[in-house]
Amino acid sequence: MEPLQAFIADCRGRAAQCAHAAIAVEAIAPVMHRFMREAERFLKPEHLRADPDHYARNAVYIAPEQDLSLFALVWTPGQWTPIHDHGSWGVVGVLRGTLHERSYVRVDGKTGDAEIDLKPGGVFLLDPGTITSFVPNPDHIHRTGVPDNAQPVVSLHLYGRNMDSFHIYDLDARSRRRVNVAHNES
């Protein structure tokens, strides 16, 4: 079995055995860590496409059952996500460059899409080989990207669903809304 297929099968099997997202990411994180050492060998040129206007989401694998997806994200200097959450568990590994992450904490005590109060949380600098993870409920709210003066970044993002949408947050309007997110097919 080729490395990508073996990785997907291993992650799918581990996730299926876990009753909670936190247990799933704990089981999958070491698999992602090992996989990152081989990633350069299986990534194709289409997985490494950049976009001059925004970070690029290149689909590496999307399960037919929609319960797992793997994307290679390519970031050029100055590209950032909006503040968002995923509504899913995820495990992320950095392949090249340093990915910056700013977390946010919801402090309003509510669960809806309005009257949202966020406070900045920690800042993380994720270097090659670093693995991070997140779970929903509470949602992992953050913004990731690459500063203007940094090197390009390539990161691999494994999600517990087809990550074709997420909530983005508007700090001024104190709201969030679900948006569809596009990706490049591979």
Residue of 180, 94, 92 lying closest to 142 (CA atoms):
92
Interatomic CA distance for residues 147 and 129, integer angstroms? 19
How many CB atoms are located within 10 Å of the residue 32 CB?
23
pTM given for the model: 0.95
For domain 3-180, give the CATH superfamily: Jelly Rolls (2.60.120.10)
Residue of 59, 141, 80, 144 lying closest to 108 (CA atoms):
141
- Give the pLDDT score at 139: 83
pLDDT in tens, the chain (186 residues): 588 999 999 999 999 999 999 999 999 999 999 999 999 888 999 999 999 999 999 999 999 999 999 999 999 999 999 999 999 999 999 999 999 999 999 999 888 899 999 999 999 999 999 999 999 987 899 999 999 999 999 999 999 999 999 999 999 999 999 999 999 997
Q: Where are the domains of the chain?
A: 3-180
The structure tokens listed for 81 are 């996500």
- Give the pLDDT score at 62: 97
pLDDT tens-digit readout, 127-171: 999 999 999 987 899 999 999 999 999 999 999 999 999 999 999
- Give the pLDDT score at 1: 59
- Helix, coil or strand: residue 50: coil
Please report, as a single letter, which amino acid is at residue 159: Y
- Give the pLDDT score at 138: 78
- Give the pLDDT score at 137: 80
